[in-house]
Amino acid sequence: MKKIEIDHYITANLGDTIAYVFLMKVEDLLPIYYVAVRGRDNVQGAVQRVLNKRRVNSIKEFVLEGNSFFNTFILNWVDNNFPLIIDKDKLIIPQVSAAAQVIDGQHRLEGLKQACDVNKNIGSQKIIVLLTQNLTTSEAARIFLNINTEQKPVPSSLVYDLFGEVRAKDYYIVRATDIANKLHEEPESPYYQCIKMPGASKGGKVDLSTVVNAIKQFSKEQGLFDEYNLRDFESQYRIIFNFFSVLKDYYEQEGNWLKSCNPFMANAGCYAGIDFMCRELLPKCAERRSFEQSTIRELIPLGRDGLLYKEEIKNMQGKEQRNVVFQYLKTALLKDVPAQNEYKF
């Protein structure tokens, strides 16, 4: 039986858990790891979800393009017949099949495995491993939840704000997707849990593709966000968040924001809202140097003449519905336009 000798490692006491941190070749780790899926595998430490094939394929392509991982792979050694050998100088790991249970990194490991099948040289790359021993399911779950709830990943497109020179050709789509995801995931968002995510079996009112397609035209280089120096993720998200929060307040006064009668809880209305916000309202807010909800509320006083409901657009095609919603919002905005006798020439 082959044994992997780790010459340099760090012992860390993480709360009540003792862990060993070290570098390890991909080809040495692949034969010993396995995934215990919650609800399927009746073993201690079963906390993982079923693999997402699309995500694995994406990681595979990421690795084949020459990229490496800088974040840690967390595993739990569970084979008591072949225990780890730990001394001051070395950590010796028996290369036993299914001896190390994955706590975090199952998609990355599967992506690496598939990439190795294409390019054997990837196996010689080193990754950072944090190895624990004989965790119970509750202990493994605590680590899993810590990573997947408390330590939320930052939006992918934030890298464009930090390092503008690394913008990819499709960065504006990534940015639009990040904004849409946050609208769906942020509890304070008007669209919290209201966007239909790919692969979701139920739930959602507006398609993710609709939100992304509406935003991406404005997040392009030299698009409207760029034109008004609103280039960072948080500014762009906050503009859309504040706009729909104002709409939500109007409809909530009648108890109808999340109801099916609300046109903004449908593809046409949501698209038209984003389109109006960026084309018509953004310049007005920029003039006032404010995208605060109070400013938006002043600019579009929707409550004066009644709210628009789906009943008024139900027999129209999607494009026509979008136009009606857009014009409804624009009419409210034009209420602030001076009368002809108020202009000076």
Contact 85, 142 (CB under 8 A): no
pLDDT of 160 over the 80 cut: no
- Across 93-102, 136-145, 236-245, the highest mean pLDDT is recorded for 236-245
Digit-coded pLDDT (tens) for 182-194: 999 999 999 999 9
**β-strands 33-34, 17-25: how paired?**
unpaired
Q: Which two tokens stand for residue 16?
A: 């009540």
Q: Which residue has the higher pLDDT, 151 or 24?
A: 24
Task: Count Cβ atoms below 10 Å from residue 108 Cβ, excluding itself.
Answer: 19
Mean pLDDT of the 334-344 span? 68
pLDDT number for residue 86: 86
What integer pLDDT is reported at residue 156 of this predicted model? Answer: 64
Q: Which residues does 223 contact at the CB level (< 8 Å), separation at least 6?
A: 172, 217
For the chain, the structural domain boundaries read 3-150, 158-340
pTM: 0.59
Q: Distance (Å, rounded) from C-alpha 90 to C-alpha 6?
A: 6
| Residues 221-248: tens digit of each pLDDT | 888 998 999 988 889 999 999 999 999 9
Give residue 103's pLDDT band: very low, low, confident or very high (50, 70, 90): confident
Identify residue 120 by its one-letter amino acid code. K
Q: Which pLDDT value is given to residue 193?
A: 93
Q: Is the pLDDT of residue 309 over 90?
A: yes
Going by the DSSP 8-state scheme, the letter that residue 150 receives in this structure is I
pLDDT at 100: 87
User: What is the DSSP pairing of strand 9-14 with strand 85-86?
Assistant: unpaired
CA distances (Å), origin 91, targets 10, 19, 109, 128, 307? 10, 12, 21, 14, 68
For residue 170, pLDDT over 90 is answered with no
Please report which confidence band the pLDDT of residue 45 belongs to, taking 50, 70 and 90 as the band edges: very low
The arithmetic mean of pLDDT across residues 291-315, rounded, is 90
CA atoms of 230 and 235, how far apart (whole Å): 6
pLDDT at 148: 59
What would the pLDDT profile of 60-73 be if each residue is shown by its tens digit? 999 999 998 988 99
- What's the chain's average pLDDT? 85
Helix pair angle (267-276, 318-333), 10° resolution: 40
